[in-house]
């Protein structure tokens, strides 16, 4: 038999159809069957194998599965870390905006809202509520301040000073009048406006006085002292060294002598009160 005849005989046999049946083992009844040739069966197996190989290669190339086959891929690791960081940042921004929108809605609806600043305070200050009742310590603090920085001969000093920085910008509602025991100026400005130091110095006293609310006293060079009263918040502790224009408090309406948001500002020179408007333009 020639080679051509052998090839023809092989392909002829490969195209012969065979019946593949599935029979119930207990009843020997044929369940289902189909006819297929050896050539068709081989073609289907080959096509299936090719499709599996192509799918596997695509998964490895275009999905994170590649990391399983490429250990130490620095670029991929960096990309994963960057994506993780972006997701965390997006979650934080989303949470902040959600809180902002909820608070804005509560304000418009005249409902109580959460304050993230208060929520971030230490546990010891979370439930803090100031005691406005008269206490001996209030009187002692007030007497200490008054006896230290007041003088029976209150007047204006004619000495010249260096540049003063305006603690706040606003309208002077009550000027310096030592005859009526008003030893400073009242400056009306926006509530929650930052209070800044008029000159570099050291904070020597911070605290609460029943009539004046939160106060800050700063010692400057040349025996000069500045006093800031009715603050809603104190930003610097006692002993802090501050530079000219540093924020040290927030404008408020604290204390019995306050009738609205403003800053009561005083300047003292060796126990003598001086008029701040002679040196500062508010």
Residue pLDDT, tens place only, 211-223: 899 999 999 998 8
The answer to whether residue 210 is domain-embedded is yes
pLDDT at position 123, please? 56
pLDDT at position 241, please? 93
The answer to whether residue 19 is domain-embedded is yes
> Could you tell me the pLDDT band of residue 141, with boundaries at 50, 70 and 90?
low
The answer to whether residue 209 is domain-embedded is yes
pLDDT, mean over the chain: 78
The answer to whether residue 230 is domain-embedded is yes
pLDDT at position 192, please? 85
**Looking at the DSSP assignment, which residues form a beta bridge with residue 171?**
188
> Burial level of 64, CB count in 10 A (0-12/13-18/19+)?
exposed
What's the CATH code of the domain at 244? 2.70.70.10
User: What range defines the domain where residue 250 resides?
Assistant: 136-278
Both 144 and 267 in one domain: the answer is yes
Both 152 and 18 in one domain: the answer is no
Both 45 and 167 in one domain: the answer is no
Question: Dihedrals φ, ψ of 278, to 5°?
Answer: -75, -15
Both 167 and 39 in one domain: the answer is no
Both 32 and 144 in one domain: the answer is no
The answer to whether residue 212 is domain-embedded is yes
The answer to whether residue 21 is domain-embedded is yes
- For residue 101, what are its two tokens? 């929108």
Report how far apart, in Å, the C-alpha atoms of 188 and of each of 179, 191, 198, 210 are: 22, 9, 17, 21
Q: Of 62, 85, 100, which one is at a domain's C-terminal end?
A: 62
Total number of residues shown for the chain: 282
User: How many helices (H) and strands (E) would you count in the chain?
Assistant: 7, 12
The answer to whether residue 72 is domain-embedded is no
pLDDT at position 133, please? 55
pTM for the predicted model, two decimal places: 0.46
Domain total in the chain: 2
pLDDT at position 194, please? 94
The answer to whether residue 127 is domain-embedded is no
């Amino acid at each position: 038999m020639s080679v051509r005849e052998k090839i023809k005989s092989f392909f002829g046999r490969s195209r012969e159809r065979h019946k593949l049946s599935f029979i119930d083992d207990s009843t020997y009844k044929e369940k289902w069957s189909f006819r297929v040739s050896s050539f068709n069966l081989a073609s289907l197996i080959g096509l299936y194998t090719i499709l599996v190989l192509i799918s596997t290669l695509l998964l490895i190339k275009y999905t994170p599965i590649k990391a399983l086959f490429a250990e130490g891929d620095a670029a991929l690791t960096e990309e994963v870390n960057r994506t993780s960081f972006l997701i965390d940042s997006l979650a934080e921004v989303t949470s902040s905006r959600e809180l902002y929108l909820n608070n804005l809605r509560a304000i418009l609806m005249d409902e109580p809202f959460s304050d993230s600043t208060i929520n971030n305070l230490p546990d010891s200050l979370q439930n803090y509520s100031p005691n406005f009742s008269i206490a001996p310590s209030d009187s002692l603090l007030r007497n200490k301040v008054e006896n230290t920085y007041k003088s029976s001969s209150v007047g204006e000093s004619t000495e010249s000073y260096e540049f003063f920085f305006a603690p706040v910008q606003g309208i002077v509602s009550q000027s310096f009048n030592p005859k009526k025991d008003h030893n400073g100026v009242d400056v009306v400005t926006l509530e929650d406006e930052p209070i800044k130091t008029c000159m570099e110095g050291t904070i020597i006293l911070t605290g609460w006085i029943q009539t004046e609310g939160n106060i800050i006293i700063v010692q400057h060079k040349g025996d000069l002292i500045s006093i800031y009263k009715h603050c809603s918040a104190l930003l610097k502790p006692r002993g802090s060294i501050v530079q000219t224009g540093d924020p040290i408090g927030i404008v408020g309406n604290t204390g019995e002598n306050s009738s609205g948001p403003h800053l009561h500002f005083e300047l003292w020179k060796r126990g003598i009160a001086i008029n701040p408007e002679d040196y500062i333009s508010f």
